[in-house]
Structure 1
């Protein structure tokens, strides 16, 4: 009779955890109970979009695991933008995309308090850079946001100007993003 070994330790993923693409993940801000789940991912970067600094426990875990902690949530407090219709500042999204696009930051986990709002906007804008259709972007956004989806966030994604983002050279960027101006053509022109 063959016995199957079962793990004695169950790992608990952070709420709203999902794979975005190879080496890119999203979730709510992990607590101490979620950290063992993250260890096998071998993260290089944790990108925090929430307004509050990550907890001391998370900061210490990042240091122990050699994970670069990038906190862009402070961008929410930019003077003069609080009265606009935008759910986040374009600068936060632009800087977040710069982190995501760089191959040196992968594997990367993107977090915000809910794992839905700022993360959903950032990933939606990444999908625009990847040339997804708006209907596909909004379907992914709605499937992960569920009852927390917001029309204003979809509107932000739709209106976000991808020309604001500086796309790294091909050898330094994640797969799935093309720089239509500087990359070589996908198909060579007929000769």
Structure 2
């Protein structure tokens, strides 16, 4: 069967400039589960993308304060920021940013993740690699993932520089039995 295309009826145009609204996800953005996301710290260029997520909570894992425009965006959009793992502002001597990544920090983060009242929820840190990876790795263990799969997912986000063995050891040794959650508030994907 011959199909003739009326070239006059089908007018094509060239795209000469990008669209006015750009939808750009934050660095290392990825869905983790339904309405649970991970990324590096969002910036001003990510705001259109974040709007579409309708976030209720952002779990901030970095040891430093977020950028001012990020705080303003959250305030204007009624997004609750849960600061987990901030370094004590009053002790500047011998500050090791990894001191804030501990079993206590991870436990607090996971208990916030285990409450569906915080959803949609974004877990983030500066680059979305190690702190975020540690929390998501421990969440995967809580979900019953095997350690090889947990390590593979963690390494996928660390880039060419690779993962940190101390983070992987922390994920492996984390006691998932310390997590306390209200069964009525668990996300559906975490229920037995």
The SS at the match of 2:158 is: helix
Deviations 1:85-113 (A, max 9, x none): 97821111011001111000111011111
1:31 to partner: Cα distance: 1.1
Question: Aligned partners of 1:157, 1:86: CA distance in 2, in Å?
Answer: 15
Structure 2 residue runs of 5 or longer lacking an equivalent are 1-9
| Contact 2:85-2:100 at 8 Å conserved across structures | no
After TM superposition, the structure 1 = structure 2 runs for residues 156-171 of structure 1, keeping only pairs within 5 Å, are 156-169=170-183, 171=184
Question: Aligned partners of 2:29, 2:103: CA distance in 1, in Å?
Answer: 24
- Go from structure 1 to structure 2 and tell me whether the alpha carbon gap of 1:86 and 1:159 turns closer, same or farther (over 3 Å shift): farther
Question: Aligned partners of 2:168, 2:56: CA distance in 1, in Å?
Answer: 29
Moved over 6 A (4+): 2-6
Q: Which of residues 92, 108, 113 in structure 1 aligns to 2:126?
A: 113
Q: Which of residues 141, 154, 176 in structure 1 aligns to 2:168?
A: 154
Deviations 1:91-143 (A, max 9, x none): 11011001111000111011111110100000000001101111111111111
Structure 1 residue runs of 5 or longer lacking an equivalent are 179-185, 187-191
1:68 to partner: Cα distance: 0.7
Question: Aligned partners of 2:34, 2:152: CA distance in 1, in Å?
Answer: 20
- For 1:123, the equivalent position in structure 2 comes to 136
- TM score, norm. by length of structure 2: 0.81
The SS at the match of 2:58 is: strand
After TM superposition, the structure 1 = structure 2 runs for residues 138-153 of structure 1, keeping only pairs within 5 Å, are 138-146=151-159, 147-153=161-167
Q: Is 1:134 paired with 2:150?
A: no
| Contact 1:87-1:156 at 8 Å conserved across structures | no
- Go from structure 1 to structure 2 and tell me whether the alpha carbon gap of 1:16 and 1:71 turns closer, same or farther (over 3 Å shift): same
- For 2:26, the equivalent position in structure 1 comes to 14
| Contact 2:60-2:123 at 8 Å conserved across structures | yes
